[in-house]
Amino acid sequence: MKSHVRSIERRLTLYVILFSVSFGLIFSAIQISYDYLSESERFEQATNAVLKRQSGPAALGLYNYDSGALQTLLSALLLNQGIVAASVVEADTQFQVRAGLSAEDIVANQSHIQSYIIELRAPQVFSQRREILGYLNVWVDEKLIHQGFEARASLALILDLLRNVVLAAVLILVFRQRLTGPIRRLAARIIDVDPQSPVTVPLAVEEPLQHSELDDLVGKMNHLLAAMDEEIHQRQQAETRVRQLNEQLEEKVRARTQALHDSNSQLRSSLDELQRTQDLLLQAQRMASLGHLAAGMAHEINNPVAVVYSNIATLSEYLTELVGLADQYQKAEGDIANKAVRAVLEELRESIDLDFVREDAPDLIKTSKGSLDRVRNIVSELKTFAVNENSEKSNEVVSRLVDSALADIHVENKQQVRVIHQSDGAPSVPCFPDQLRMAIGKVLVNAYEAMPGGGTLEVAYDSDDKFISIVVHDSGVGMTSEDISCAVNPFFTRKEVGQGTGMGLTVAYNVLSNHGGEIQIESTPGKGTSVTLRLPKAG
């Protein structure tokens, strides 16, 4: 804004100088032109007057052919300013008397030489008709006429220009002191007005411009600034009030948000617990259904298994007796006198391969008993789906159950696995010992089988207000999330057919459920698995 004010002052200065010099030059040019024309007109009038005065003597001299008088007259004319040549010419005889420049010089300089001519008539004393005797010619050099005029004009022009410049400087000084200066200072004060406090210093017009249009303008500006100050004050009060309301609102929103966050956290926890409970209920319902089915299947399978087991034992006795009888018959073959009968018996013995039967029959009986024992174990595992209401719980130290389960394990890589069992300070827990030992054994067998090339097996204990935990961690192959979700399902296994029944973790889950506890599995593929058996403390 300040540069804009200075530019206005410069413009005004430029306008004053420009117009002063321009109009001074124009007026000086007009004055010089007028003087030039006036001087030319005066010279022409003076020349015509001289010619008229000299026409009489020139006519008399021409009438008398007085060359001397004419020459004297023409010489006198050359004494006048600007006249460079003069001649008297008779009309009839072309008699001529000439003075000054020659005709050739006049032609050469004709661009600035002007001629004047006047008729010469016969004097009245000699002729009443006043016939034309000849002509009086004079040639005037305009340069000589205006000689010195250009210098005078240039001097006048310079003086006029200086006068106008001085006048412009005076006007500029007066304008700056009396007009642009006060306006510039007023504009500077307006620019320096603080927008936050407009009426700190009221605006005022300086003395040179008082009682002018600026008084009304400054009054209006002061009124606007006062209104602006009032508006700013009201706006600041409103902003303060809005800020307070915003702070209160933010505090309420923050409190409400925190309440909603707490409520959401509680709701999320409740939903998680509800989901977990629902999963447990579904799993319990499935296991309960499987328990009824397993109990029925175990009862139905146990009966024929017992019969088959008994029959195999009886069959084993019968085979032993028959083989013994066959041996006695073989010994008595030599005492048979009838060769035909003896030959038939030998052929019959060779056809049934009695030696092979004697060697293979015990293995068949042993394998059959082993298979029946496996069926009995599966039936025993199926019985874990149902709570044994006839048995009673007893307090057992969990480390002893773990030691017993470790001692009963027979796996190929047992010597390659390092067992770390932190049994010091192990708690006791009310349980069905046989069931819990079987569950722990199933988990330990899975841990061994997860480390076919060897590794580390760790068993530790933990407790809180409600539960005692047995933690079994191995450094084996680990499990995927999908495997973990199906781990406790009956007959789920990733082993080759014939290498496992898929009932290990199912049995452990059922045992923990029968005790009112739970099983938790955490695993990372390639980094091992942790199985936690949580049992409730004594109530």
Listing DSSP states for 199-253 in one string gives: TSS-----GGGTTSHHHHHHHHHHHHHHHHHHHHHHHHHHHHHHHHHHHHHHHHH
Q: Where residue 498 falls among pLDDT bands split at 50, 70, 90?
A: very low
CA distance 53 to 346: 205
Of all residues in the chain, what percent carry a pLDDT higher than 70?
Answer: 73
**Hey, what are 357's tokens?**
């039967």
> Which range in 197-201, 298-302, 395-399, 469-473 is most confidently predicted, on average pLDDT?
469-473
Of all residues in the chain, the percent with pLDDT exceeding 90 is 2
**Of 301, 307, 279, whose CA–CA distance to 382 is shortest?**
301
Residue 4 has pLDDT above 50, yes or no: no
Neighbours of 34 (CB within 10 A): 10
Select from 431, 436, 442 the least CA-distant residue to 377.
Answer: 442
Residue 23 neighbours by CB under 8 Å, 6+ apart: 164
Predicted pLDDT of residue 506 = 79
Q: What pLDDT does 2 receive?
A: 45
User: 16 versus 241: which is more confidently predicted?
Assistant: 241
Q: What is the per-residue pLDDT for 473?
A: 92
- Centre a 10 Å sphere on the Cβ of residue 95 and count the other Cβ atoms it contains: 15
Can you spell out the DSSP letters for 330-379?
HHHGGG---HHHHHHHHHHHHHHTHHHHHHHHHHHHHHHHHHHHHHHHHH
Q: Residues 29-86: pLDDT tens digits?
A: 887 778 777 777 777 787 788 888 888 888 878 778 888 888 888 888 888 878 888 8
Average pLDDT rounded to a whole number, residues 469-483: 87
Checking if the pLDDT of 539 tops 50, the result is yes
Using pLDDT thresholds of 50, 70 and 90, give the confidence band for residue 279.
low
Q: Which of 330, 326, 306, 328 is nearest to 318 (CA)?
A: 326
DSSP 481-525: HHHHHHTTSTT---SPTTS--S-HHHHHHHHHHHTT-EEEEEEET
Average pLDDT over residues 504-524: 83
Half-sphere exposure of 242 (CA within 13 A, CB side): 6
- What confidence category does residue 385 fall into, taking pLDDT thresholds of 50, 70 and 90? low
Q: Residue 5 pLDDT > 50, yes or no?
A: no
Query: What is the rounded distance in angstroms from the CA atom of residue 120 to the CA atom of residue 63?
Result: 9
Residue 416 DSSP symbol: G
Q: What is the pLDDT of residue 3?
A: 45
Confidence tier at 497 by pLDDT (50, 70, 90): very low
Using the CB atoms, write b or e for 58-87: b if 16+ within 10 Å.
bbbbbbeeeeebbbebbeebeebebbbbbb
Domain at 2-165, CATH from 3.30.9, 2.60.40, 1.10.287, 3.30.450: 3.30.450
Mean pLDDT of the chain: 76
Give 108's pLDDT tier (boundaries 50, 70, 90): confident
pLDDT band at 162 (very low <50, low <70, confident <90, very high): confident
Location of structure tokens 């040019």 = 29
Q: Is residue 395 scored above 80 in pLDDT?
A: yes
- Are 427 and 463 in contact by the 8 Å Cβ rule? The answer is yes
Residue whose token pair is 């700190």: 200
Higher pLDDT, 324 or 2: 324
Strand partners, 459: 421, 472
Q: Report the b/e string of 467-499 with b at 16+ CB within 10 A.
A: bbbbbbbbbbbbbeeebbeebbbbebbeeeeee
Q: What is the pLDDT of residues 353-372, one digit of tens each?
A: 666 766 777 777 777 776 66
| Ranges 156-160, 287-291, 334-338, 345-349: which has the least confidence | 287-291
Q: Average pLDDT in the 391-418 region? A: 84
| Banded model confidence at residue 441, pLDDT cuts 50, 70, 90 | confident
β-pair partners for 428: 397
Q: pLDDT-derived band of residue 338, with 50, 70 and 90 as boundaries? A: low
* Burial of 191: CB neighbours in 10 Å, binned 0-12, 13-18, 19+: exposed
Task: Report residue 287's pLDDT band, with 50, 70 and 90 as the boundaries.
Answer: low
**pLDDT tens figures, 181-218:** 777 777 777 777 776 776 666 777 666 666 676 677 77
Joined tokens for residue 180: 């642009």
The helix (run of H) or strand (run of E) holding residue 324 is: helix 213-332
- What CATH class has 391-536? alpha beta
Token pair for residue 22?
Answer: 């321009």
Q: Is the pLDDT of residue 501 over 60?
A: no
